[in-house]
Structure 1
Amino acid sequence: MKHFNWTNIRLILMLATVAFLFSFTSNRNNNRKLKKISIVFVGNDAPFVDQETVNKLLIENKKDAQSINKDKLDLNKLESLLNTQEMIEKSEVFVSVDGVLKAVVKQKTPVARFFDGDDSFYIDYEGNTMPLSTNFTARVPIVSGEINRKDSKDLAELFRIIHDDAFLKKNIIGVQIMPNRSLLMLSRNYNYKIDFGRAIKIKAKFNNYKAVFQKAVLDSSLNKYKIIDLRFTHQVVCTK
């Protein structure tokens, strides 16, 4: 007569019970409605896109979050939808265990504003074009002159360097693109113009400018200059 292995039987029963409870709990959890939506903006503090806009994208034209079942959510789709918004650089969407749909949103960072006739747009930190916002106006250098869309990519490094440098960000307020593609820059507090030349050897030219600026501040000669010529990295020529 065969003997039953009660240890194995108990183990099988326990596993079956756990599987049932997990399936029951998971199904019950998926059928629950969302409680609310929580939106968190990270990085750039400027409100180029507001919570209401993000909220509308998340609920996909439904009246409110409480009308959505958790199992009906496609989180990847929602992330893709948010990332197509022209002011958003990257987003992450997930549902917390307590039924809150959460979106972590990083907005794009504008580094310059281009004026091309009646057309005006930002370029962001990555060199991509970015529309103006009705919610907020960024304090970034104004770019004018002989502009084409290719300039936004070509000049991205220059404007990233200005944006990341506290002195340059405060000091450089305007850039004019000349017909020969050289750059003429304007200072915030002084009347001189900076002849930067083409956007090459950018860091070296800006280092030269900062060195001349610091020296000229000490002898109070900045107000006497009309042009600070940075075109040649081995010398800086200041014209009165």
Structure 2
Amino acid sequence: MKFFTWINIRLVLMFSLVIFLYSFTSFKNNHRKIAKVEVRFLNNDTPFVKAETVNKLLIEKNNNTKTFTKETLVLNKLENSINQEQLIQKAEVFVSVDGVLKAVVKQKTPLGRISAENSSFYIDYEGDIMPFSENYTARVPLISGEIKNVKKEKLAQVLRTIYEDEFLQKNIIGIQVLPNGSLILENRNYDFGIDFGRMINIDRKFNNYKAFFQKAVADSTLNKYRMINLKFTQQVVCIK
């Protein structure tokens, strides 16, 4: 049987042509000039960081991105430069087929605000410190008191529960940490305090508070109380 048949020769030629076209396309694609830079924020309702800031971080690492080719870009290096910004949680950088350098950015989410004598900052969704922004101020509960006496993970859990609940987010505007680690919450529209106790049974306590609040609003009795005690998970104790 002859190996060099016409059919085999055609297959080899076609295969070689495919390899050539693929290599040529890859070469052209890698050497294409960057047409422009685009920045997109996943949570643009809280503009802590401006697109110009992200652009600047990209340009500083590459002098002038528009003169670069796709081959010379190190995308991981660009992502790391953006992720070093303290207000950014995560960034993804890639180049589209039409030569656009794109950065998709997720900003950090502040859950609480701490204003101390020596420093002021946010607590973010993970319970870590997040600096203030010159561009935007978040409306989150103000945290005061003996913050060093509580674990950041437990405090972040309380703050996440408030943030993720529409009623609590509108209702709770302040958190005071007592020396023993207990919490006193402040209500937006009424003068009573909310004795939350220690940071245990968090969901149960907040559910009890929401149920009590709805009933007390219907009965027009909220203005009669000076303290709402949530320490006991089986009941809500009201103090006049």
Cα shift readout 1:181-230 (whole Å, capped 9, x = no counterpart): 11111100011111111111111111111121111111211112111111
Q: Which residue of 1 aligns with 2:185?
A: 185
Verify: 1:205 aligned to 2:205, yes or no: yes
Alignment length, in residue pairs? 239
Q: Which residue of 1 aligns with 2:78?
A: 78
> Residues 227 and 118 of structure 1: is their aligned pair in 2 closer, same or farther, counting only changes over 3 Å?
same
Cα contact 2:171–2:189 (8 A) shared by 1: yes
Tell me which amino acid in the other structure corresponds to 2:211.
Answer: A
Q: Residues of 2 paired with 1:147 and 1:66: CA distance?
A: 48
Q: Which residue of 2 aligns with 1:20?
A: 20
Per the normalisation by structure 1, the TM-score is: 0.93
Contiguous gaps of at least 5 residues in structure 1: none
Alignment of structure 1 residues 103-182 onto 2, 5 Å: 103-148=103-148, 151-182=151-182
Q: Which residue of 2 aligns with 1:9?
A: 9
SS of the residue corresponding to residue 78 of structure 2 reads helix
SS of the residue corresponding to residue 195 of structure 2 reads strand
Tell me which amino acid in the other structure corresponds to 1:118.
Answer: N
> Residues 150 and 129 of structure 1: is their aligned pair in 2 closer, same or farther, counting only changes over 3 Å?
farther
The alignment-based identity, stated in percent, is 59
SS of the residue corresponding to residue 155 of structure 1 reads helix
SS of the residue corresponding to residue 113 of structure 2 reads strand
Q: Which residue of 2 aligns with 1:66?
A: 66
Q: Residues of 2 paired with 1:80 and 1:231: CA distance?
A: 45
SS of the residue corresponding to residue 133 of structure 2 reads coil
Cα contact 2:150–2:181 (8 A) shared by 1: no
How far is 1:150 from its partner?
Answer: 5.8
Q: Which residue of 2 aligns with 1:231?
A: 231
Provide the aligned C-alpha RMSD in A: 1.7
Cα shift readout 1:1-59 (whole Å, capped 9, x = no counterpart): x7841211121122222222221221122112100011111135201111011112223
Tell me which amino acid in the other structure corresponds to 1:111.
Answer: L
Q: Residues of 1 paired with 2:127 and 2:233: CA distance?
A: 25
